[in-house]
Each structure stands twice: as structure tokens, then as C-alpha cells.
Amino acid sequence: MSYYKLTVISQACGRLSQMKRDIKKGKNPKSPFVQKPYLVSCYGFKVNGMLLSFPVRNREFANILLNEHTVKILSDQSVTPRSFTMTPQSISISIAKDVEPIQTESAIGVDRNLRNITFGNGKEIIQVNTSEMLKIKENYSHVKSTCTRNDHRIRKKVYGKLGKRQTDRIKQRIHRMSKSLVNYAKKNKAAIIFEDLNGIRKLYQRGNGQGNRYRRKLNSWSHYELERQVSYKAAWDGVPFYKEDPRRTSTLCPICGGGLQGDRQRHRDLWCGICKRWYDRDVVAAMNIACKGLHRFCNPQGDAGEAMRGNLNPAILRVDVSKLVTDWSDACIVQVS
């Protein structure tokens, strides 16, 4: 049918535009191609109860039974189906809804590390242990190394199967963390501030004087997956999402603003000579990211005073705007495994 041809052209143009962008960046991409057949359409389909109905010929329709989760999501009156994508093994439906952004009262800084995720602000800090995901990757790497078949086709099939299992287990754990983070921000009416880690993979390239095991561990770090999931879940719930420059977030004291010093015996702790106390470097980074994002992205709350000729202080004509003030003096740390 004619509108299926339109979607095919759209998909092909998208792949060509992506190849052109890669060429402009200096990369050498391959010619775009599709390995598995799939169908994308945004015309002519309907959701009738538990059935997805779409035309295949003139006045002929195919019906697909949807599962209970999909029917529950589509039953919401505020949700509108936009398109569907079908592959030989699965089908997905793209939906949209009008979201009203929440009025933020604070900000939550998120610091990502290899073994934990730390988020919060000066009032409360929550630290989630992610060492389990690191163990999962190490176990699957060990299992892959035990495959000694001298046939690259068999090894490719085994590696693909194990890699899919590893990816599914990692994504499921990140899904739970991202969902909890967005719900926490929505409950506290706070904006989510991530650190911009674009280009961090360049720090772990071959030739940087690092070992193979260390580079493999850092390059398999799923830092972007958490950012991707939190960004679209925050947009779905109306929670503002921003990214901030991570420079000096782990070297400045969040209380007094002075420089922090490290200790070889206490690798994750930093000492503030002015406050005379130790801080966990992940907690410091989360608090500084929240503070920077609060002052940069969160708009001032309240009405602005109008500057007039009859101002009581005629020497300086100014507009007084009420600003958000956050007290960083008391910090609560909550450990979550």
C-alpha cells in the first residue's frame, strides 16, 4: 500500500542522513543496510480492545493480539497511539501524551560511577550499589573465554546469545534504578541534573598506558544507558532533565567552596581543611552537580519588582528578584544496596 512506501522512504532517508553526519565528523561509515526485515507505519492502523488491526491489502486487515500490559497502557485516555514497528519476533507501539511540566522547587544531582550511583542534594543523599552489574559482566566475559571452538560461526552465535543475556540483565537493573530516581524527583518536585560525560571513552583508548583488563572494564561501563532511560522517563512524567559540566565537581567542598585534598589510604574520601571534616567524593560530586544545576537551569521563583523612577534608592535602579536558596549545611546519607 502507498503509505507503507512513504515510511520506507523515511527510514532510508534517516539512515542516509546519519551516514552524512558521521562523514562530517571525520568517520568512515559503511553503506547503510538492514539486516532483519521490519515494518514501520503510522497510517491506517487501529487498536480495537486487545487487537491491533492494520491493512495489508485493499479492505483486508490483519489482527494481532496484544498482551495485558500493552492493553493496560493503551487504555489510558491521555495516551494516543502514533505508530507501530513490527519485526518477525516482536511488535512495539509508539504512544504520545500531553505532559505538563512540574514546578521545580529544588534540584537532584546524579553522580555515576563504576560501582555505585549517587544522587540527591544537600538535604538527602542516596547511594545505590551497582557492583552486582560489574560482577555480571565479569562472569559473562569469563564464560565467553571458555568457548574454544575453532569455528568463528559457532563462536559468533554463542557470543551473541551470551551478550543478549548480559544486556537484558543489565538493562533490567538500570530500569529499576531509573524508575526509582524519576519517582523520587517527581515526589520532591525537583529537576534531575546529570553530568555531561560526552567523550569519556577517549580516556580509555589503546595506547593510554592502561592495562587491557582495566580498559575493558571501563569501556563496558553502562553510564549512558542510565542517562537515556532517565531522560525519557522524566520527559514522560514532566520532570525537568538537564546536563551539567562535571568539571571540579569532585574537588570543591559543597559547604564552604574550598579545595578538597585526597589521601592515599582513604581512596574515596576527601579532606576539607576549612570545615575540618572528611567527605565521600561521590557525595561531594552529587551535591556540587545539584548546586550548579540549581543556579543555572532552575528559574527564579516569585514576582519581580519593577524598577521605577520613584525608587527609594535612586542611586542604583535595579530589579529585585527572589531566588531559590538551598541550605547545604545538613546532609543525610542513605545507603541502598
What's the pLDDT band for 173 if we cut at 50, 70, 90? very high
Q: Is 107 in contact with 115 (CB distance < 8 Å)?
A: no
- Report yes or no: 83 and 42 within 8 Å, Cβ to Cβ: yes
pLDDT grade for 330, boundaries at 50, 70 and 90: very low
Does residue 138 surpass a pLDDT of 80? yes
Q: How far apart are CA 103 and CA 301, in angstroms?
A: 9
CA distance 83 to 44: 10
CA distance 61 to 171: 35
Q: Which amino acid makes up residue 68?
A: E
Contact by Cβ (8 Å): 240, 293: no
Give the residue with greater pLDDT, 268 vs 157: 157
Domain boundaries, the chain: 2-96, 106-296+328-336
**pLDDT at 335 exceeding the cut of 80:** no
Highest mean pLDDT among 65-69, 221-225, 311-315: 65-69
Residue range 92-113: mean pLDDT, rounded: 89
| Element housing 89 (H / E) | none
- Identity at 37, one-letter amino acid code: P
State yes or no: pLDDT of 153 exceeds 70: yes
Q: Which tens digit of pLDDT belongs to each residue from 30-56? A: 888 888 888 888 888 999 888 999 998
**Tens-place pLDDT, residues 226-260:** 999 999 999 999 999 999 888 888 888 888 888 88
Report percent pLDDT > 90 for the chain.
Answer: 26
Least Cα distance to 241 among 283, 303, 178 occurs for: 178
Residue 281: band (very low, low, confident or very high) from pLDDT cuts 50, 70, 90: confident
Mean pLDDT of 120-147: 88
pLDDT at residue 7 greater than cutoff 60: yes
Residue type for position 230: V
Q: Is 208 left (phi over 0), alpha (psi -120 to 50) or beta?
A: alpha
What global pTM score does this model have?
Answer: 0.76
Q: What is the pLDDT of residue 194?
A: 93
- Secondary structure percentages of the chain, helix, strand, coil, to 5: 35, 25, 40
Q: Inform me whether the pLDDT recorded for 323 exceeds 50.
A: no
Mean local confidence (pLDDT), 53-64: 89
pLDDT by residue (tens digit) across 292-306? 888 887 755 444 444
- 137-168 burial string, b = 16+ CB within 10 Å, else e? beebeeeeeeeeeeeeeeeeeeeeebeeebee
Which triple of cell numbers denotes residue 53?
488491526
pLDDT class of 320 with cuts at 50, 70, 90: very low
Q: Which of 225, 167, 190, 218 is nearest to 119 (CA)?
A: 190
Range 117-120, long-range pairs (CB < 8 A, 24+ positions): 117/177, 117/226, 118/282, 118/283, 118/285, 118/286, 119/181, 119/184, 119/286, 120/286, 120/287, 120/290
Provide the CATH topology of domain 106-296+328-336: Nucleotidyltransferase; domain 5 (3.30.420)
